[in-house]
Amino acid sequence: MNRTKASPSLRRGRPVNAEARAERRQQILDAAHRCFVRRGFHASSTAEISSEAGISVAGLYQYFPTKQDLVTALIQHELEADLALIQQLDRAADLLEGLQQVAMAVVRDSRTPQAAHLRLEILAEAARDAGTAKVFLAAERRINRALSRVIRKGQEQGSIDRDLDPMAVAEHINAFLDGAFSRLTLPITDPEAFVRGSIELIRRALSAKS
């Protein structure tokens, strides 16, 4: 009866296959990523995802008790990747320079249209589902805080207008970038030029008046 849960205290060290488990979990998340990017959250079936992950459907349910849980986990995973991206800006001397560099790297990445699509799916899911909205806003706050730190640095250097409220500006830039990003899902003529223009407008908006 209590065999499966028997005396965890008797197990020394970390559970035997925690590593393999985490690996499998990631494998599923990757497969889900590919599926969601291809067809969206709702149009991707558990069968499709598990097949893409090279696992049985029932197996999937041992890692995510619900499809919604899988969706949520993937969203969280994705949002963390976004945070990592923003944190790259910290390394750049100048916010706008850094933004430019990161943005150009992103726009040149062939996987960006898919990433942009996924971002839209996430925004839409947050609009539909209050739970997702909460998760999204929590991640958003961390990102904005990171971004505002870089902005403040820019203000100290003088490249960004000191009158601007760093946190508010962070929120707006974030939103703006989402808008610009959403265009990268579409077959537009010159994505690179488009992104360059976006960055340039942001620069104009933030730069200290003479």
Partner DNA sequence: GATGAATGAGGCTTCATTCAT
Partner DNA sequence: CATGAATGAAGCCTCATTCAT
> Under the rule (CB under 8 A), what is the footprint of a copy of itself?
13, 39-40, 42-43, 56, 59, 113, 116-117, 120-121, 123-124, 126-128, 130, 133, 136-137, 168-169, 171-172, 174-183, 185-188, 194, 197-198, 201-202, 204-206, 209-210
User: From the list DNA, a copy of itself, none, which binds 21 (C-beta under 5 to 8 Å, kind-based)?
Assistant: DNA
User: From the list DNA, a copy of itself, none, which binds 159 (C-beta under 5 to 8 Å, kind-based)?
Assistant: none
State both tokens at 205: 């908006």
First-residue to last-residue Cα distance in the chain: 76
Per CB under 7 A, 12 contacts DNA: yes
Positive or negative torsion for Cα 167, 173, 176, 180: negative
The rounded distance, in Å, linking the Cα atoms of 45 and 173 is 35
User: From the list a copy of itself, DNA, none, which binds 137 (C-beta under 5 to 8 Å, kind-based)?
Assistant: a copy of itself
CB of 137 to DNA, least distance (A): 24
| Three-state DSSP class for residue 18 | helix
State both tokens at 87: 């944190």
The rounded distance, in Å, linking the Cα atoms of 40 and 124 is 10
Phi/psi of residue 79, each to 5°? -65, -35
Residues that bind DNA (CB under 7 A): 4, 12-17, 20-21, 24, 44-48, 55-59, 61-62, 65-68
